[in-house]
Amino acid sequence: MKNSNSYPLFSMKLVGAFLVSILFIFNACEVDPVLETCSTNITNADVSETSFEAGTTLTGEVDFRETIGLDNLQLQSMVQWYLSNDSSFGGDTQLVAFLDNNQTTKSGDNVSLTFDQIDIPINQASGNYFIIARLSGQPCGGGEVSDDDTEVIAVTIN
C-alpha cells in the first residue's frame, strides 16, 4: 500500500532539484562582469603639425574611451608619445610631452587629453617618421589588465 504523504514530498524534492539545476545552468552562462568593464582604446590622436623642423615643439590631443572608471590622476598618466622610423610601436624614441591639466575632460567613458608641449629632438635627422600616441593598459580588477592601444600619425621632419 502506498503512503499518500510520500507523493507530495517526492514531488517537492523533484521540483526543487529541477529549479536548482536550472539556476546552475543559467549561472554558468553568465558573462564575467569584470571583462565587460575592462577596456581602453584610442578614438583619435592628432598633433598640431605634420611637417616641421627638428627641435620643434608641437601640441597634441588624444581622445580615448575607458570603461574602468579611472580618476583624473590615472587618466593623465596613461598616454605617452613616441617618434618612430616605422608605423609599429617598439624600440622608438619617447618624446618629452607635457599635459595641459586645464584641458583634461571626461564625459562618461570618453576622455580627452590635450598636450601643450611635445618636444621633437633637436638633433633628429630629416626624413619621414611616425609619431605614435600610446595608451597604456590599466589594471581593472580580477587580475585583468586592459590592452595597450596606439594611434599612428605620419610626419615629415625637414
- Please name the residues in contact with 56: beta carbons below 8 A apart, sequence gap of 6 or more: 49, 120
Portion of the chain with pLDDT greater than 90, in percent = 54
Could you list the pLDDT tens digit for every one of the 158 residues in the chain?
555 555 555 565 655 555 555 555 544 444 443 335 788 999 999 999 999 999 999 999 999 998 888 888 888 889 999 999 999 999 999 999 999 877 788 888 899 999 999 999 999 999 999 999 999 999 887 888 999 999 999 999 99
The most distant pair of C-alpha atoms in the chain lies apart, rounded to whole Å, by: 102
Predicted structure pTM score: 0.74
Cα distance between residue 146 and residue 67, in whole Å: 10
- Whether 153 contacts 50, CB under 8 Å: yes
Residue 78, classified by CB atoms within 10 Å of its CB into exposed (0-12), middle (13-18) or buried (19+), is: buried
